[in-house]
Amino acid sequence: MAAPILSVTNLKARYGSVPVLRGVALSVAPGELRLLIGRNGSGKSTTLKAIAGLIAVESGSIRIADTEISHLKTRHRLARGIALVPQAGNSGRGVFPHLTVRENLEVMSLAGADAGRPDYGLAWRLFPDLEPFAGRRAAAMSGGQQQMLAVAMAMMTRPRLLLLDEPTCGLARGRALDLMKLLRQLADEHGLAVLIVEQNVSLTLDKVDSVSALRSGLVVAEVGPEALHDPSWFAQVL
């Protein structure tokens, strides 16, 4: 496998006085789709936020290719090729609700490493169902459509590393499977490095290349996807 795009070493972070990440180490190579799993509170979302620069880290290293980025602000990490699709929550799915689909895509294209004229064709090719709604405000779209838009927005930044936090949350199974198929395609055809947090492991069984298991803020196992077919493995590791 090619040299990693992302290399995380001994990453530590806390919320207030509570340690959350206790020395996380993992890597993702170009074309690799890595699944990050763990029980609630194990540090999965915190790991993605730390890589994206949304929370401060105490110590450790985050490298994109050969460049240390742990000291960079979020916008500078975005310019280095890191894009995060956040978990859906009370504030939505990471889209700008009062902007149209086209405007959402335009905003993100200006934030990426290769800022310039937006390549809407990329978004329409990846998500053909979005194009008919180009002039519709994001707030008027369904949850599934907003999730598609969130991923399309991330891709407009021309990332080298795509981070996704529970991207299938709230989606019908068919839509969720379509999204996982797309992520596999992005890794295979675009050489994208993908790190995904996903609780519904059944959706990922034939899509991921590797699995990192988190427990209490530490990566306690790194295995191939075949381990996901063994329920006893989860009980032993997590």
Q: Where are the domains of the chain?
A: 1-81+160-238, 86-158
Evaluate if residue 135 carries a pLDDT over 70: yes
What is the predicted pLDDT for the residue at 92?
Answer: 65
Our CA angle for 139, 47, 180, nearest 5°, is 55
What would the pLDDT profile of 6-45 be if each residue is shown by its tens digit?
999 999 999 888 899 999 999 999 999 999 999 999 999 9
For the chain, the C-alpha Rg in angstroms (whole number) is 17
For a pLDDT cut of 90, what percent of the chain falls above it? 72
What would the pLDDT profile of 184-214 be if each residue is shown by its tens digit?
999 999 999 999 999 899 999 899 999 999 9
For a pLDDT cut of 70, what percent of the chain falls above it? 95
What would the pLDDT profile of 63-91 be if each residue is shown by its tens digit?
999 899 999 999 999 989 999 999 876 55
pLDDT band at residue 115, thresholds of 50, 70 and 90? Answer: low
35: exposed, middle or buried (Cβ count in 10 Å: 0-12, 13-18, 19+): buried
Tell me the average pLDDT across 150-177.
92
Cα distances from 164 to residues 34, 35, 136, 180, 188, in angstroms, run 11, 10, 24, 11, 17
What CATH code is assigned to 1-81+160-238? Answer: 3.40.50.300
